[in-house]
Structure 1
Amino acid sequence: MKKISFSLQILIASALGILAGILFGESMGNVSFLGTIFLRLIQMSVVLLVMSAIIESVGSIEPADIGKIGIKALVLFVLTTVVSAVMGVLMVNIIKPGVGITGVLPGKYEGQIFSISIPQLITEFFPKNVIQSMVEGNMVQVIVFSIFFGLAISLTRHSEGSKRVYALAVDFGKVIMEIIKMVMRFAPVGVFALLGSITGTIGVGVIVPLVKFLAATFITCIAILMLNLGIVSAYARVNPLKVLYKLKNTIIVSIATTSSAISLPVQMEDCEKKLGISPRISRLVNSLAMSLNSDGLAVTIAISCLMIAQFYGIELSLQQQIVIVAVSTLSTLGNLLVPGGALVAVSIALNMTGLPLEGIALIAGVDWFAGIARTFLNVVDDVLCTFFIAVSEKEFNRDIFDKNT
């Protein structure tokens, strides 16, 4: 008997949760504790998972490559991710997926939303005690420490001590990843309980924001792709349609698998044999991009945070929305390559902003569909960043590109 995929399990659990909420109403609140347990289990290992993922990614960079190419790559990653988060925020303000639901009262929220000035925000990026940051779940500070830790390993990578520390970080990350995988097996039960409780207490109109959420995600991802493709094609002086055609195998694999990791080998092959990017640039930048550049995930996080805020009737100022852009960018670091990884990343962002974590149930049921647009944008934008760097470093072979392959 063929095993039901994780995505299908989530879809079935979501449908059953909504149906149970309609049939049993407020009594579904009695099973909400199962959803709370699921959310706690996600939070349990998130700090350690993010630390190990970032340390492994940054620590893997060769010191010789941290120079010009590495800086170019990181600047491009940050720039494209920030632009993606900004466009996600703009799209939510236009479509408003979390408001205007006829006959449905906004969800109740009794927590405290973040309120911080921009100078305070920048200062709070830097930890004074990383252990305290870990205990408090301050993910921004944990991420900043992890970047420094990874850079220190990279710069001393040839010493035996650093090699052992790096190997320990990699092995530790694998163990934490297994914990996350175990927790995600409980996801269908958690999603069923959360959506059943929300639907039972709020009403069937909860389905409306899901459709609007998907519309906002797909429109934003397509707009970002067209923008980046246009800029890079103009810089390289190539036909943008020809670029997409040469990436057809990468695009098909990314859509079919919704996995950046699975797409990576095909992505590198297309870069080297069809676009004419040198193997040195292709293998370094594409590998880094898989973990450190996730424009589609930034879109998902930004749209999710604002939609959840709208659904719970939380008014966000312009300054707070700017903070969400920063949080969306930081939450993509390490790019969790596990089933449901986007849900974990969104939960990190909700923790960082103080928005209600329960709102994650609103997007869980359609995350697989959002994952199609998210992975497609992630993978193609990784290639475009690699292409841009190859052209700037004069490691782009136009003869290969001009071949009809």
Structure 2
Amino acid sequence: MKRINLTMQISIGMVIGIILGLVFGPKIAGIQLFGNIFLRLIQMAVVLLIFGMVIESLGQIKANQLKKLGTKTAIWFLVTTVIAAVLGLIIGYMMRPGAGLKLATLHANGSLGKAPKDISTIVLSFFPTNIFEALASGNVIQVIIFAILFGIVLNRANTAGKFDQVLELVKAINGLTIRLVMLVMKLAPLGIMALMAWVTATNGLKVILPLVKFLVAFGIGSASFLIVLFVGISWYAKVPLGGLINGFSRIMLVAFTTTSSAISLPVELADAESRLGVGKAISQLVLPLGMALNSNGLAMYLSLACVTLTQMMGLDLTPGAMVQVVVLALISCLGTVVVPGGGLVALTIVVPTLGLPLQTIAILAGIDWFSGMFRTVLNVVGDTTTAIAIAADENALDRTVYQRQTATKLNLK
């Protein structure tokens, strides 16, 4: 008998929780305690995990690769991720998936309702004065800024292997932390069931409609982002748009159906070379690096989720909070969490930082499998289009593959 995967278990837990909330009503509201315990168990390890993953990702890149192609790759990752995050905000405000629902018994506790800060104060707050204080308080932005700098220094200082032991120690700690998070994630179906039972018991079935609207908004945002990427890369790399889309067809199909960037990677590597003309040296550097450091789909998901949840709370993001959302979406993609339910784990980073109640995560957790379809497609397409752009810059793009694809289609006709 085939084992049900974790995301499906979470979806089943969500359905059971909704049924329990509707059947028993306020009598079952006390079950929230079990859901809150689950969320705290996730929170206790996630800052350490992100801290270590960023250092490991940057520290193990070969120095010559980091210098030669690293800058170009980082710029493309940065640009596409920011576009995805900003597009998520725009779609959220245009479609307003969370509007019309005011969650009972939940209150924001952070800076959402405060007066907007000036841009210099916002930027200054990203940089820590004490890394231990940032770790203790769970200030994710400050922790990641320190981790990025530490990872770069480790990379530069370790060219002769002098600090291999430090890198191996970081990898070992990351491995153990991932095991811890995976252990906690086994409780996710029960935790989400408890939280959804409580949410439904206190708010009723009206909580379902925003979930459908969220998925529609995410689908429209994903389609818009893909159009921007394909048109932009077609122009930049001087390749035919039709051949580009045809070359991506198998990659997108595998990504959409498996909801796994790791499973999609072998197909990406094969099709990037044979169907999209990317040189092997470029694809073998950019695509694995993209899986670790770049996640356009997650960036859009997080920004759209933040807009949706604030709308459910009857609030609006201040300009300062919007900047925070984009920055958090960007840096949450560094060292993408390689555990089941990674989208859920990422939400536990962003939501508390914005001052939103942690329990609101449960509302979107139940549809994480469907969200994962869109996230994965955007992730793999973003990585592969970056590889095409860099190959074009480095004269390592074989454009004849597009001509062969066009000729094959004409022969078939």
Q: In structure 2, what is the Cα distance between the partners aligned to 1:303 and 1:212? A: 11
In the TM superposition, what is the alpha-carbon distance from 1:159 to its structure 2 partner?
3.5
Does residue 278 of structure 2 align to residue 277 of structure 1? yes
Distance 1:338 1:402 in 2: 40
Structure 1 residue aligned with 2:363: 362
Q: 1:118 to 1:106 in 2, by over 3 A?
A: farther
- Decide whether the 8 Å contact of 1:63 with 1:155 is kept in 2: yes
Judge conservation of contact 1:107–1:311 (CA < 8 Å) in 2: no
Residue 349 of structure 2 corresponds to residue 351 of structure 1: no
1-structure distance, mates of 2:104, 2:94: 19
> Would the aligned equivalents of 1:281 and 1:386 in 2 still touch at CA under 8 Å?
yes
1:270 is aligned with what amino acid? D
> Is the counterpart of residue 124 in structure 1 residue 122 in structure 2?
no
Aligned to 1:268: 269
Q: Is the 8 A contact 1:107 1:312 kept in 2?
A: no
Matched residue type, 2:387: T
**How many corresponding residue pairs?**
403
Give the 5 Å matches for 1:97-176. Answer: 97-101=97-101, 108-114=106-112, 115=114, 116-176=117-177
Q: SS in structure 2 opposite 1:166?
A: helix
**Take 1:210 and 1:107, find their aligned partners in 2: how far apart are those partners?**
19
Q: Is the contact between residue 232 and residue 384 of structure 1 (CA under 8 Å) also seen in structure 2?
A: yes
Aligned mates of 1:323, 1:391 — CA distance in 2 = 33
Match of 2:411 in 1: none
Aligned to 1:82: 82
Structure 1: state its 5+ residue gaps: none
Contact 1:308 1:356 in 2 (8 A): no
* Distance across 1 between alignment mates of 2:4 and 2:296: 29
Q: What's the offset of the Cα at 1:249?
A: 2.6
**Could you say what secondary structure the match of 2:69 adopts?**
helix
CA distance in structure 2 between the partners assigned to 1:62 and 1:79 by the alignment: 23
Tell me, what secondary structure is at the counterpart of 1:215? helix
- Alpha-carbon offset, residue 106 of structure 1: 5.2
Conserved 8 A contact 1:106-1:311? no
Contact (CA 8 Å) 2:76, 2:386: kept in 1 or not?
A: yes
1:279 and 1:154 map into 2 onto residues whose CA distance is 24
Q: Deviations over 1:200-226 (max 9, x none)?
A: 011111001100110111110110111
The alignment's TM-score, normalised by the length of structure 2, stands at: 0.94
> Once the two structures are aligned, what percentage of the paired residues are identical?
37
State the 1:111 CA deviation. Answer: 1.6
Which amino acid is 1:258 matched to?
Answer: T
Kindly provide the amino acid, as one letter, of the partner of residue 91 in structure 1. I
Query: For residues 110 and 60 of structure 1, do their structure 2 counterparts lie closer, same or farther at Cα, with a shift above 3 Å needed?
Result: closer
Q: Which residue of 1 aligns with 2:223?
A: 222
Deviations 1:127-149 (A, max 9, x none): 12111110010111111111111
Matches within 5 A, 1:243-322: 243-322=244-323
Structural mapping, 1:51-62, within 5 Å: 51-62=51-62
Give the C-alpha shift of residue 110 in structure 1.
5.0
| Pairwise CA distance, 1:323 | 2.4
Match of 1:199 in 2: 200
Distance 1:252 1:315, change over 3 A: closer
List alignment gaps of at least 5 residues for structure 2.
409-413
Please give the alpha-carbon distance, in whole angstroms, between the structure 1 residues aligned to 2:159 and 2:323: 40
Q: Which residue does 1:395 correspond to in 2?
A: 396
Q: Kindly tell me: are residues 277 and 199 of structure 1, through their superposed partners in 2, closer, same or farther at Cα, counting changes over 3 Å?
A: same
Measured in 2, the distance between the counterparts of 1:341 and 1:51 equals 15
In structure 2, the partner of 1:23 is: 23
Q: Hey, what does 1:50 align to over in structure 2? A: 50
CA 1:176–1:341 in structure 2 vs 1: closer, same or farther (change >3 Å)? same
Look up the equivalent residue of 1:14 and give its one-letter code: M
1:231 corresponds to which residue?
232
Q: State the distance in 2 between where 1:207 and 1:376 align.
A: 25
1:68-115 Cα deviation digits (max 9, x unpaired) = 4211111111111111111101111111111124xx655530523355
Query: Judging changes above 3 Å, is the alpha-carbon distance between structure 1 residues 110 and 250 closer, same or farther for their aligned structure 2 residues?
Result: closer
Deviations 1:31-64 (A, max 9, x none): 1000000100110101111012111111122111
Q: Measure, in 2, the Cα distance between the counterparts of 1:12 and 1:196.
A: 12
Contact 1:107 1:202 in 2 (8 A): no
Query: Quick one: distance in 2 between partners of 1:161 and 1:141?
Result: 28
Q: How does 1:314-353 map to 2 (within 5 A)?
A: 314-353=315-354
Q: Specify the code of the residue in structure 2 equivalent to 1:109.
A: H
Task: Report the 3-state secondary structure (helix = DSSP H, G, I; strand = E; otherwise coil) of the residue aligned with 2:275.
Answer: helix
**CA RMSD of the aligned region, Å?**
1.5
Mapped to 1, the partners of 2:158 and 2:400 lie a distance apart of 38
More moved, 34-43 vs 346-355: 346-355
Give the distance between the partners of 2:404 and 2:330, measured in 1 at CA.
37
- Which consecutive aligned stretches of 4+ in structure 1 deviate over 6 angstroms post-superposition? none
